[in-house]
Amino acid sequence: MQVLPASQDQLAAPVWNTAADCPQCLQWRHWGWQQRLASQLALEHARNCQRAQAEAEGRLREERDKRRALERQVAGLQREKDDLQRNNAALLKKPFGFSSEKRPPDKDAPPSPGGSPSADSGGEAGSPRKKRKRGGQPGALSHKRVQREGLPVRKEVLQPSPAACVCAQCGKAFRRNGETVSKRVEIRVRAHIRHIRRPRYRASCRCAQQRGLAVPEAQAELEPTLFRGSNYGRSVYVEFLLAVYWHRHPARAFEREWLDHGVQLPASTLLGRIADYLRWFAPLEKAIAVHQQREGLAHGDETTWPVHVRAEEGHKARCWLWVCVTPDAVRMIVDPTRSTQAAERIFGGLGRHATIVLVCDRYCVYKRLASAHEGCFVVAYCWAYVA
């Protein structure tokens, strides 16, 4: 049964004429009006439900479209990832191709139709490739054992026990029948304490007293410590500097390593002397600068170099590392600026004995340096900047 919408007049509250109508007619009219009102309310509720369902279906379609778009994007990224992995694998295999460890072709083999012998088997073209076995090849010379002639030799004689040198049946002692000699490379690192005793000798004659002088004494001189109040010898600081700045070992690892050898060397104590280390190398830096002045060719460059200590002091941490490279020496300085004064510190002494060729980039400081020292420098630009 289809419910038709009622008009506004039908939904309006009726006006009852109690004098003209009987009670039964009034009751029937009231029921009819309530039925029309319920039908209208049900129809409006159905319309609201349809609108809500349509909106929900629209949002569901939008979410499905977004999901499909994301799935397509993920699939595209996955294909791109697979392509990059294949390209990476191909690039990794490229330096180690078949030609990297290929045996030379046989000189006595006949030439291939192309005019050159086959690189795979030395025979005619089209012959199957012979797979090279791994490891040492038949007929190839073996590697010789490294001769360590510079190492000191400590000789040891290992004797068997006396019971092993007696016959078990008759008790007669064995006689010597040659020996077996073997060599082994051993490493033994051990810290020790130098207990230094310096006897003093005093003059027993009265020559000095007769002349009114102090009695002379003789005693061997003790090498001074690098830092006042320190009981560490020079070997400790040399070992620390080589481990940290040459072998690139962390300072804490250096501390743990020597703790395993039975000696405690606090890394904080050794690192606290970094500023004092510089004065040790001042004579060496000056000698390198004097040596580079006699060269005829030098390479110069500069690059950024952060110094975090300056940031703690309120300055900019960005500094510049300047380098001057000659055939047998390298000299570097760190300067807060990239100015001509900084270049003057490292390149200003060059060319005093003869004109020097300075290979550098097109930075204008090098041009100013050559103009300021006319006749000492010949600026040659690197090929990477000329092309």
pLDDT in tens, 188-244: 888 888 888 988 888 888 888 888 888 888 888 888 887 777 888 888 888 999 999
The CB density around residue 175, as the number of other CB atoms within 10 Å, is 6
pLDDT at site 115:
44
What lies within 8 Å, CB to CB, of 255 at 6+ separation is 264, 265, 266, 267
Closest among 361, 224, 340, 229 to 280, alpha carbons compared: 224
Distance CA 103, CA 116 (A): 15
- Prediction pTM value: 0.50
Distance CA 70, CA 91 (A): 31
pLDDT at site 129:
65
181 has a pLDDT exceeding 80: yes
pLDDT at site 387:
59
pLDDT at site 128:
61
CATH fold of 282-386 reads: Nucleotidyltransferase; domain 5 (3.30.420)
Least confident of 11-25, 30-44, 155-169: 11-25
80 has a pLDDT exceeding 90: yes
Q: For residue 94, how far is the Cα from the chain centroid? A: 25
pLDDT at site 100:
45
Q: Tokens 């191709």, residue?
A: 97
24 or 339: whose pLDDT is higher?
A: 339
Q: Tokens 């019971």, residue?
A: 163
First to last CA, the chain: 92
Domain boundaries, the chain: 282-386
Q: What is the mean pLDDT of the chain?
A: 81
Distance CA 138, CA 136 (A): 7
Distance CA 36, CA 11 (A): 7
Residue 102 to residues 115, 121, 127, 181, Cα–Cα distance (Å): 20, 10, 16, 41
Stated length of the chain:
387
Q: What is the pLDDT of residues 357-380, one digit of tens each?
A: 999 998 999 988 888 888 888 889
Percent of the chain scoring above 90 in pLDDT: 25
